[in-house]
Amino acid sequence: MAPNLQTCVVLCCVADLPTCLLCVCLTGSVYCEEVSPDMTAVPTLPKETAYLYARYNKINKITAKDFADIVTLRRIDLTGNVISEIEDGAFSKLTLLEELSLAENRLVKLPMLPAKLTTFNANYNLLRTKGVKATAFKKLTKLVNLFLANNQLEAVPQFPESVRIVHLQNNNITEISADTFCKGNDTYYLRPNLSEVRMDGNPVLLSKYPNSFTCLKSLPIGRYN
C-alpha cells in the first residue's frame, strides 16, 4: 500500500511546496484540510479522485481547469475557504458529482451546478437573489438537501420537487407568495417530499400568507407573530 499512497501524495502537489505538508490521498479520497503553509488554490488531483475534502484553507477562486480532468468526483467539500469567484463551467464536466459544499466562503453568485447533485450547501456566503439564477436549482431533479442559510437572499429560489430539506434561515426574505412552495391555482397540489423548511431569522411574517403552505406536510419554521 505504501507505494500507492506515495504516488498519490506526489500527484497532490501544489506549486513548489512539500506535498507531505499538504494532502493525504487514500483509496480515491483526497484530504487537504487546514493546510500549512496556506493553500490558495485547488491542488492537482489524481485522476481517480472521487472525494475531495479541502476545508478551512485559503482557496480564493475555482477555475474552469481545476476539475476539468477529474470526472470521477462524487463529493467536493470546500467549506471554510475564502472563495469569491467560480469560473463558468468549473463543475460542468462533473457528471457524477452528488455532493457539493461551498459553505463559509465569500460567494456573491452561484455557478451552473451539476445535474446529479443530491446535496448542495452554500450556507454562510454573501449570496443575494440577483446572484442566483432563476433556474439554478430547478433542473436539479435529484436534489434532496438545499442549504442556503446565512446569506443575503431577498426571495426564496425555485427548487425541484425532489427536495426534502431547505434551509433559508437568516437571510433577508421579506415576502412569499402562493406559488413559492405550492401552486396557487391548484388546491389539490401536494408536495409530499418537502419535509423541512427553515425560514427563521428572516423579516417575512409567515402568518400573513396562510394559503402559501397548503401543499406542505408541515409549516415552515419561522416568524408567525
Examine residue 43 and state whether it is found in any structural domain, yes or no.
no
Q: Are 198 and 167 in contact (CB under 8 A)?
A: yes
pTM: 0.90
Distance CA 66, CA 75 (A): 14
What is the domain extent for residue 213? Answer: 60-225
Among residues 143, 154, 155, the alpha carbon closest in space to that of 193 is found at: 143
Supply the CATH number for residue 166's domain: 3.80.10.10
126-142 per-position pLDDT tens digit:
999 999 998 899 999 99
Whether the predicted pLDDT of 14 surpasses 90: no
Examine residue 55 and state whether it is found in any structural domain, yes or no.
no
Q: Looking up cell 500500500, which residue turns up?
A: 1
Whether the predicted pLDDT of 45 surpasses 60: yes
What domain count does the chain have? 1
Examine residue 1 and state whether it is found in any structural domain, yes or no.
no
Examine residue 11 and state whether it is found in any structural domain, yes or no.
no
Examine residue 45 and state whether it is found in any structural domain, yes or no.
no
Q: Which 3 state secondary structure label does DSSP give 11?
A: helix
Distance CA 60, CA 79 (A): 12
160-190 per-position pLDDT tens digit:
999 999 999 999 999 999 999 999 889 899 9
Q: Looking up cell 426534502, which residue turns up?
A: 164
Distance CA 183, CA 225 (A): 25
Examine residue 19 and state whether it is found in any structural domain, yes or no.
no
DSSP-assigned letters across all residues of 136-167: TTTT-TT--EEE--SS--SSPPP--TT--EEE
Rounded to an integer, the average pLDDT of 38-43 is 91
Side chain identity, residue 138? K
E strands present in 37-188 = 51-53, 61-62, 75-77, 85-86, 99-101, 119-121, 145-147, 165-167
Q: How confident is the model at residue 37 (pLDDT cuts 50, 70, 90)?
A: confident
Examine residue 31 and state whether it is found in any structural domain, yes or no.
no
Distance CA 198, CA 133 (A): 21
Query: Residue 2 corresponds to which cell in the numbers above?
Result: 505504501
Query: Residue 13 corresponds to which cell in the numbers above?
Result: 502537489
Examine residue 26 and state whether it is found in any structural domain, yes or no.
no
Side chain identity, residue 87? E
Distance CA 95, CA 75 (A): 11
